Amino acid sequence: MNVQGSYSLFGREHEATLGYSYLQSKQHDQESNGFINDSNIKNDDSLGYARQLTTNWASWTPQSITWSAFSDASNYTQKLNSVYAATRLHLNDDLKLLLGLNYVQAKSEGYNYNKPATYDENKVSPYAGITYNFTPEYTGYLSYTSIFRPQSGLGTDNKALKPVEGESYEAGIKSSWLDDKLTGTLAVFRTEQTNYPLRNSDGNPLNRKVETSDLRSQGVEVGLAGQLTDHLNIAFGYSQFSLKDLKNGGDARTYNPNQTINLLTTYTVPALPKLKVGASLQWQEATKLYDSSINSTITQDAYALVNLMTSYDLNNHISLQANANNVTDKKYLYSFPDGQAFYGAPANYSVAVKFKY
């Protein structure tokens, strides 16, 4: 819940808000383990959690699996109380200042895979921002945010994960053209966070312990969205960032691309105003993931996906739409954070009838 209002100070009107939120969640998991006794499956500790089939799979007959009785794996309750207050000061017609505080109290009681999942943390996090209208079309801004984010799970020390804490800074400029039909953004940012979760400490999906580190990310984002002409719309986004591991050194989360480009355009045919065609492009830089459990690096080269669409309005209520996704049938991998790699969807097509009332 929140309360908003305005007040007068130094001959100007300003805005204020005060709010409170409460969140409670309960996690109760049960598990059963399967066991198989098969001489054709090699148990080799050097393979980590992997198991090797020593016979021809085409002629292999799997043995039945014996399942254990279900038992509690985790049972804990998390409570989150938050009180926040903020004010927006109109210093003059073009200059505005935002100041705020957010108090968070986080509690957890219970256990997670036979380890205590208990903590009681609280913190006051300030945030601030300033905007300035250089012209009616261009607005610059600066912002600061203190980060405090409770999390669940077990650390490598068999204790509940500590909250993520840190600070974030951002500066940018926003613009609008063509009577606000087209908008653009340019932003640079820098964030430092401690106790940030990386992934399972050894890549083993059966290992529930999560490794954490201290990270610093910084980068730039560019965006353009809106109506270029009466018939052509565009949405463009480019981002570039680096993510450094301050505790262990080197890059972190290398399975996330450091550069991405997203472009979407739609065009309404002037001679047939009920007909619309469109295309989109999604590109990302190369990514990789080193998995210590198999002593190997999974690599994904840079790739782009191209999608096409067309739609036609039969009347005010019914329209037809056809989509062609990944039209170049590009092969790519995803799901790196899980220590696995699956192929993304190949070229695929769909036709839909949409009803609107």
Calculate the alpha carbon distances from 179 to 198, 270, 338, 344 in Å: 45, 22, 47, 41
**DSSP-derived 3-state class of residue 47:** helix
- 3 state SS for 265-283: EEEECCCCCCEEEEEEEEE
**Quick one: tokens of 14?**
């300003």
Q: Give the separation between CA 201 and CA 213, rounded to whole angstroms.
A: 11
Q: Where are the domains of the chain?
A: 1-31+69-199
Q: Give the separation between CA 25 and CA 159, rounded to whole angstroms.
A: 19
Q: Give the separation between CA 163 and CA 148, rounded to whole angstroms.
A: 6
**Quick one: tokens of 93?**
């017609």
Q: Give the separation between CA 319 and CA 351, rounded to whole angstroms.
A: 11
Residue with tokens 């809106």: 226
Three-point CA angle 246, 199, 210, nearest 5°: 90
What's the full length of the chain, in residues?
A: 357
Residues 6+ apart with CB under 8 A from 49: 203, 204, 205, 206, 207, 293
For residues 150 and 109, the answer to whether their CB atoms sit within 8 Å is: no
For residues 324 and 305, the answer to whether their CB atoms sit within 8 Å is: no
The per-residue pLDDT for 158 is: 76
Q: Average pLDDT by consecutive 10-residue portion of the chain (357 residues)?
A: 94 96 92 74 52 69 79 89 97 97 94 84 96 97 96 80 94 96 98 86 58 94 96 98 92 91 97 96 92 76 97 95 98 73 91 92
**Quick one: tokens of 148?**
């405090």
Nearest to 84 by CA among 103, 106, 107, 105: 103
pLDDT in tens, 265-314: 999 999 999 999 999 999 999 998 877 666 778 888 999 999 999 999 99
